[in-house]
Structure 1
Amino acid sequence: MSAPTPVTGNTKPSLTGVRIKQRKGVAKATAKFEPEVFRDALLSHLLPIPPTQYDLIATKLITAGSTLEFLKYSDALFEIVFVGGILQPGGSYVEDGKTERSPFAIIGGKDEIEGTAVAEGADQKDILAEVTQKVEVMKKVIQRYKYLQKPLEQNVLPALLQYIIKWTPLQREKVADAAAMLIAQGFATGECLLALTKDHLVKDSISLSFLTHFIRAYLTFQNMEHLSRLLRSSFKDIILVFPQSKRTRAALDAHFKAEGLPQVAEWYGKRQTVLVKEELTRWMTQACEEDEFTEEWVENALGHVATQQVENSLPTSDVLSISWNALMASFDWAGRSDQFAKIKTFFPVLAPFAKKPLEQVNLLQIVQVYCYDEQKAMKSFPSLVRILWEADLVSDNALIYWFDKGAKPQGKEYFVKSVQALYDHVTEESDDEEDE
């Protein structure tokens, strides 16, 4: 008989026949994904409750969360709460032989539940009040299960906004009100609004209508400053929700004023003016780096500046300020001796915007403030004023008005005194002309 094989230190014990119990969390994670089963289980909790018993519904949902897998089926949960059922890609309901919808849903309503259509002219305050009560239910559930907030803002809201074309105008309005309330109160971010720039929603003004309702509802919870920050962070430009044929500042202005939201039009106008001024400043500064202002250069610059002014309703004072400061940025005040010669060749760009006396006074103020800020240019102020006067960019009356009462506070005493000689000369000539 052979001797038994000795057990060495490297031999591992066999677990044959031993049953290993799988951890509960692992079992849940590997379980089959069955949103229809989740839907049916959730509806079994909601169907017996009258749809307007909001406190009872909130309590029932919170209780259901202890047995149903809200985290795993968060998308299905919010779809049921928003639209009454679960959705398939494209926004259509999942039809598996069961057409029953949740009696409690954001886009639902008393009349819709009873099977009658809701009038499109329903009072918006009543609609918002109804939606507010339903969103309060949703908020209570999110506050109890805080892990639901992330899928709501990252998955559910962006997807729902892509599907709004599937619903009636009234249903879209309700979703807009709910989204506005959730975002205004910090339960979601405005990232979902970017979905409104998709072509299939933009072309028939669906995005524009939705955003208008959203803004109106949002302003009932937050002020215009808060809304402006949201719009800046959510859109590259809100004009992208307008159909292609209406993407103009004038069309946007007319739309929001007609909708009773002039503050939105005013905010957008100011913001666009700032952006246009920044872009024009960059263009002019880069263009002024040329060594010489040839006739071709001047013509090109005038065309560009004039176009920007007309399209964006830029005040002449802004055009003068941008043009002058861009010109001055190209000079080295410490080392160039031909600077005044170059300035004169730039005057044709300024001339169309300094025809009226007030424009000429404004030009003097711009030069004054520039020289005050740029200490190296302070001593050149009287020379700059003289060449502007000699080139008829500053008239006698404009100079006299600026000297007497139009100078800016910045360095006023110094600058007024520095052009005393020219002022005396101009006033003497004026007196002589009156005597003659």
Structure 2
Amino acid sequence: LVAKGIVLPFITDFFKEYLVDNSLDDLIAILKRGKVEDNLLDFFPSSKRTAEAFSEHFTQEGLLQLVQYNEKKIFESKLSEMKSALTTQISDQADVAEVIETVKHYVKDAKLPDVEVVRLLWDVLMDAVQWSGKNQQQNANTALRQVKAWATLLNTFCTSGKLELELMYKVQIQCYEDAKLMKLFPEIVRSLYDQDVLAEDTILHWFRKGSNPKGRQIFVKSLEPFVKWLEEAEEED
């Protein structure tokens, strides 16, 4: 029946009828209970079991919310897969060039936005760090070594001021949410600057008007000495 294309119209009509009086969340809950949420492509003939065919069919049938749900699910799955692959490589101290190629492969394959790539890279790098309990200085040294070791990786994908700013947001939020990193923010930013990952203009923009609200006052104050140094150097030039 699937091969003959009989099942797909039937299931499509069911989805449409169900969603008249129920939400997409209700539909997904039913699909999960029936253990078919991850296997919706099985309702398509074998020659059409692709994400593109799924999107095209249900868009034409007016089920755009189902299409968006599926695309988000695929996107999150690709991100998770990429994160897992990179975590393994970085934990194994793979060559930077090899890791860069892995990132490029996933970016091309999954059409990942640059912003998501930058966020994910920072997560992976910090997740790979072996933190040392409450020893603040040791944690600082470890984090800075990680930044220095993988600066080329970050540099490869932080290709604009916008992406550099996104990286600063990511660092800020992580330092805000993780107590052991709270005091490391200025040191991490300084290291990223020293490694040419963050440009002076990006740091000054963040400081003057671009910081995230989370912990803004704390981080702006902690970065003041470095920003003052940047501004003085700028004036001398």
Q: TM-score, normalised by structure 1?
A: 0.48
- Seen in structure 2, the aligned counterparts of structure 1 residues 401 and 231 have a Cα distance that, compared at 3 Å, is farther
Q: Work out whether 1:368 is the aligned partner of 2:172.
A: yes
Q: What aligned pairs does 1:141-152 form with structure 2 within 5 A after superposition? A: none
1:354 offset after TM fit, Å?
A: 1.0
Aligned equivalents of 2:21, 2:200: Cα separation in 1: 55
Q: Is the 8 A contact 1:293 1:342 kept in 2?
A: no
Q: Work out whether 1:328 is the aligned partner of 2:126.
A: yes
Question: Which secondary structure state, in structure 2, belongs to the residue aligned with residue 410 of structure 1?
Answer: coil
In the alignment, structure 1 segments of 5+ residues that lack a partner are 1-164, 166-200
CA RMSD of aligned residues (A): 2.4
1:307 offset after TM fit, Å?
A: 2.8
Amino acid corresponding to residue 28 of structure 2 in structure 1? S
Q: Which protein is bigger by CA-based radius of gyration?
A: 1
Q: What aligned pairs does 1:216-365 form with structure 2 within 5 A after superposition? A: 216-233=16-33, 234-235=35-36, 236-290=38-92, 292-294=93-95, 298-334=96-132, 335=138, 337-365=141-169
1:293 offset after TM fit, Å?
A: 4.3
- Seen in structure 2, the aligned counterparts of structure 1 residues 310 and 419 have a Cα distance that, compared at 3 Å, is same
Aligned equivalents of 1:280, 1:223: Cα separation in 2: 31
Aligned equivalents of 1:246, 1:405: Cα separation in 2: 50
In the alignment, structure 2 segments of 5+ residues that lack a partner are 133-137
- Seen in structure 2, the aligned counterparts of structure 1 residues 239 and 283 have a Cα distance that, compared at 3 Å, is same
How far does the alpha carbon of each residue in 1:337-370 deviate from its partner, in whole angstroms, 9 at most, with x for none?
4542332221232223211111110100101111
- Seen in structure 2, the aligned counterparts of structure 1 residues 283 and 430 have a Cα distance that, compared at 3 Å, is same
Identity over aligned pairs, percent: 27
Q: TM-score, normalised by structure 2?
A: 0.83
Aligned equivalents of 2:148, 2:5: Cα separation in 1: 51
Q: What aligned pairs does 1:96-245 form with structure 2 within 5 A after superposition? A: 165=1, 201=2, 203-233=3-33, 234-235=35-36, 236-245=38-47
Aligned equivalents of 2:63, 2:48: Cα separation in 1: 18
Amino acid corresponding to residue 85 of structure 2 in structure 1? W
Tell me which stretches of 4 or more aligned residues in structure 1 moved more than 6 Å: none
Aligned equivalents of 2:222, 2:176: Cα separation in 1: 13
Question: Which secondary structure state, in structure 2, belongs to the residue aligned with residue 355 of structure 1?
Answer: coil
Bigger RCO (CA 8 Å, 6+ sep): 2
Q: Is the 8 A contact 1:228 1:267 kept in 2?
A: no
